[in-house]
Amino acid sequence: MPAPTRDADLFRQLAATVINTVEEHQAEWQVWHVQAEALRVTRGLGIPPHQLDHVVDQVEQTALATCLSLDPPDDGISEPDTLRRADGTSVYRVIGSTRYTSHRILFAEKRIVDAAGRSDGRKADPNSVDAALLAETTNGTELNPGQAQLVRELALSGNRVQLASPRPAPARPPRCGLCPPPGPTAAAT
Protein backbone atom coordinates (compact mmCIF):
# COMPACT_ATOMS: atom_id res chain seq x y z
CA MET A 1 0.00 0.00 0.00
CA PRO A 2 1.54 3.35 -0.98
CA ALA A 3 1.95 6.01 1.67
CA PRO A 4 -0.78 8.68 1.54
CA THR A 5 0.04 12.14 0.30
CA ARG A 6 1.17 14.12 3.30
CA ASP A 7 -0.60 17.44 3.10
CA ALA A 8 -2.52 19.74 5.45
CA ASP A 9 -5.79 17.87 4.77
CA LEU A 10 -4.26 14.56 5.86
CA PHE A 11 -2.82 16.13 9.01
CA ARG A 12 -6.19 17.72 9.87
CA GLN A 13 -8.00 14.43 9.31
CA LEU A 14 -5.52 12.47 11.43
CA ALA A 15 -5.55 15.19 14.11
CA ALA A 16 -9.35 14.98 14.30
CA THR A 17 -9.12 11.20 14.69
CA VAL A 18 -6.53 11.62 17.45
CA ILE A 19 -8.61 14.13 19.42
CA ASN A 20 -11.83 12.12 19.00
CA THR A 21 -10.08 9.05 20.40
CA VAL A 22 -8.50 10.94 23.31
CA GLU A 23 -11.87 12.58 24.13
CA GLU A 24 -13.52 9.18 24.42
CA HIS A 25 -11.25 8.26 27.32
CA GLN A 26 -10.70 11.46 29.29
CA ALA A 27 -11.93 15.01 29.70
CA GLU A 28 -8.46 16.50 29.82
CA TRP A 29 -5.13 15.38 28.48
CA GLN A 30 -1.51 16.31 28.04
CA VAL A 31 0.80 16.36 25.06
CA TRP A 32 1.89 12.77 25.88
CA HIS A 33 -1.63 11.43 25.32
CA VAL A 34 -1.90 13.18 21.96
CA GLN A 35 1.58 12.08 20.94
CA ALA A 36 0.87 8.43 21.74
CA GLU A 37 -2.41 8.45 19.84
CA ALA A 38 -0.81 10.26 16.89
CA LEU A 39 1.79 7.50 16.75
CA ARG A 40 -0.95 4.85 16.82
CA VAL A 41 -2.90 6.37 13.94
CA THR A 42 0.13 7.02 11.74
CA ARG A 43 1.89 3.68 12.14
CA GLY A 44 -0.37 1.85 9.72
CA LEU A 45 -0.13 4.44 6.94
CA GLY A 46 2.95 3.02 5.25
CA ILE A 47 5.13 6.01 6.13
CA PRO A 48 8.85 5.21 5.93
CA PRO A 49 10.30 4.83 9.44
CA HIS A 50 12.81 7.66 8.97
CA GLN A 51 9.89 10.07 8.27
CA LEU A 52 7.53 8.82 10.96
CA ASP A 53 8.75 11.17 13.72
CA HIS A 54 8.18 14.20 11.49
CA VAL A 55 4.66 13.05 10.51
CA VAL A 56 3.73 12.26 14.13
CA ASP A 57 4.98 15.71 15.16
CA GLN A 58 2.87 17.37 12.45
CA VAL A 59 -0.24 15.43 13.49
CA GLU A 60 0.44 16.22 17.15
CA GLN A 61 0.87 19.96 16.48
CA THR A 62 -2.24 20.07 14.29
CA ALA A 63 -4.26 18.24 16.97
CA LEU A 64 -3.06 20.45 19.83
CA ALA A 65 -3.88 23.56 17.79
CA THR A 66 -7.56 22.53 17.99
CA CYS A 67 -7.46 22.03 21.77
CA LEU A 68 -8.04 24.47 24.60
CA SER A 69 -5.34 24.91 27.23
CA LEU A 70 -6.55 24.53 30.81
CA ASP A 71 -3.46 26.18 32.25
CA PRO A 72 -3.98 29.43 34.15
CA PRO A 73 -3.00 32.60 32.32
CA ASP A 74 0.58 33.80 32.52
CA ASP A 75 1.33 35.51 35.84
CA GLY A 76 3.24 38.30 34.12
CA ILE A 77 6.49 37.55 35.94
CA SER A 78 9.34 37.37 33.47
CA GLU A 79 12.35 35.25 34.36
CA PRO A 80 15.80 36.35 33.25
CA ASP A 81 17.26 34.65 30.20
CA THR A 82 19.47 32.48 32.40
CA LEU A 83 16.28 30.87 33.77
CA ARG A 84 14.86 30.12 30.32
CA ARG A 85 15.33 27.06 28.17
CA ALA A 86 16.63 27.29 24.62
CA ASP A 87 13.00 27.40 23.36
CA GLY A 88 12.26 30.41 25.62
CA THR A 89 10.13 28.62 28.22
CA SER A 90 10.75 29.09 31.90
CA VAL A 91 12.80 26.44 33.70
CA TYR A 92 10.09 26.57 36.37
CA ARG A 93 7.52 25.21 33.91
CA VAL A 94 7.45 21.40 33.77
CA ILE A 95 7.84 20.27 30.18
CA GLY A 96 4.66 18.65 28.86
CA SER A 97 2.58 19.65 31.89
CA THR A 98 0.05 21.74 29.97
CA ARG A 99 -3.42 20.22 30.28
CA TYR A 100 -5.79 20.41 27.32
CA THR A 101 -9.47 19.81 26.62
CA SER A 102 -11.82 20.43 23.70
CA HIS A 103 -14.93 22.45 22.96
CA ARG A 104 -16.88 19.19 22.75
CA ILE A 105 -15.87 18.19 26.29
CA LEU A 106 -16.67 21.64 27.68
CA PHE A 107 -20.07 21.57 25.97
CA ALA A 108 -20.83 18.14 27.45
CA GLU A 109 -19.77 19.31 30.91
CA LYS A 110 -21.98 22.39 30.57
CA ARG A 111 -24.96 20.22 29.67
CA ILE A 112 -24.37 18.11 32.79
CA VAL A 113 -24.04 21.17 35.03
CA ASP A 114 -27.18 22.71 33.52
CA ALA A 115 -29.11 19.47 34.03
CA ALA A 116 -27.84 19.24 37.62
CA GLY A 117 -29.80 22.37 38.47
CA ARG A 118 -33.06 20.88 37.23
CA SER A 119 -35.47 18.89 39.37
CA ASP A 120 -38.17 18.31 36.76
CA GLY A 121 -37.22 14.71 36.05
CA ARG A 122 -39.30 11.62 36.56
CA LYS A 123 -40.22 10.56 40.06
CA ALA A 124 -41.11 7.02 40.96
CA ASP A 125 -44.19 6.24 43.00
CA PRO A 126 -43.12 5.66 46.65
CA ASN A 127 -45.16 2.44 46.82
CA SER A 128 -43.42 1.12 43.67
CA VAL A 129 -40.01 1.84 45.19
CA ASP A 130 -40.93 0.02 48.41
CA ALA A 131 -42.29 -2.93 46.38
CA ALA A 132 -39.09 -3.10 44.34
CA LEU A 133 -36.95 -3.02 47.49
CA LEU A 134 -39.09 -5.76 49.05
CA ALA A 135 -38.84 -7.87 45.88
CA GLU A 136 -35.06 -7.57 45.89
CA THR A 137 -34.91 -8.57 49.56
CA THR A 138 -37.10 -11.57 48.76
CA ASN A 139 -34.72 -12.51 45.93
CA GLY A 140 -31.75 -12.46 48.30
CA THR A 141 -30.38 -8.94 47.74
CA GLU A 142 -29.88 -7.46 51.19
CA LEU A 143 -29.48 -3.69 51.42
CA ASN A 144 -28.48 -1.99 54.63
CA PRO A 145 -30.67 0.92 55.79
CA GLY A 146 -28.36 3.50 54.21
CA GLN A 147 -28.45 1.76 50.83
CA ALA A 148 -32.24 1.45 50.92
CA GLN A 149 -32.53 5.14 51.81
CA LEU A 150 -30.23 6.02 48.91
CA VAL A 151 -32.44 4.05 46.49
CA ARG A 152 -35.50 5.89 47.80
CA GLU A 153 -33.86 9.31 47.52
CA LEU A 154 -32.61 8.68 43.98
CA ALA A 155 -35.92 7.28 42.77
CA LEU A 156 -38.15 9.90 44.37
CA SER A 157 -36.18 13.13 43.95
CA GLY A 158 -36.89 14.08 40.33
CA ASN A 159 -33.40 15.55 40.03
CA ARG A 160 -31.96 15.27 36.52
CA VAL A 161 -28.42 14.60 37.76
CA GLN A 162 -27.59 12.86 41.01
CA LEU A 163 -24.42 11.56 42.54
CA ALA A 164 -24.22 8.60 44.87
CA SER A 165 -20.85 8.36 46.56
CA PRO A 166 -20.05 5.73 49.18
CA ARG A 167 -18.55 6.74 52.46
CA PRO A 168 -14.83 6.05 52.57
CA ALA A 169 -13.82 2.94 54.43
CA PRO A 170 -12.31 3.57 57.85
CA ALA A 171 -8.54 3.87 57.78
CA ARG A 172 -6.75 0.71 58.69
CA PRO A 173 -3.21 0.45 59.96
CA PRO A 174 -0.81 -1.23 57.55
CA ARG A 175 -0.42 -4.96 58.06
CA CYS A 176 2.83 -6.83 57.89
CA GLY A 177 3.78 -10.37 58.82
CA LEU A 178 5.37 -9.14 62.06
CA CYS A 179 2.34 -7.21 63.30
CA PRO A 180 -0.49 -8.94 65.16
CA PRO A 181 -3.93 -8.64 63.54
CA PRO A 182 -6.05 -5.75 64.82
CA GLY A 183 -8.61 -6.46 67.50
CA PRO A 184 -8.52 -8.28 70.83
CA THR A 185 -5.82 -10.90 71.26
CA ALA A 186 -5.78 -14.02 73.38
CA ALA A 187 -3.32 -12.37 75.76
CA ALA A 188 -5.65 -9.42 76.31
CA THR A 189 -8.60 -11.56 77.42
**Cα distance between residue 89 and residue 79, in whole Å:** 9
pLDDT at 188: 47
The residue among 153 and 172 whose pLDDT is bigger is 153
Domain ranges of the chain: 1-72+92-116, 119-163
pTM: 0.68
Q: Do 28 and 100 touch, CB atoms closer than 8 A?
A: yes
CA angle 3, 52, 71 (to 5 degrees): 125
Q: Which CATH number fits domain 1-72+92-116: 1.10.287, 1.10.1040, 1.10.10, 3.40.1350?
A: 1.10.10
Average the pLDDT over 145-150 and give the result. 91
115 pLDDT exceeds 80?
yes
Average the pLDDT over 17-45 and give the result. 95
* Burial readout 6-22 (b: 16 or more C-beta within 10 A, e: otherwise): beeebbeebbebbbeeb
Among the residues of 75-144, which ranges form H helices? 103-116, 126-138
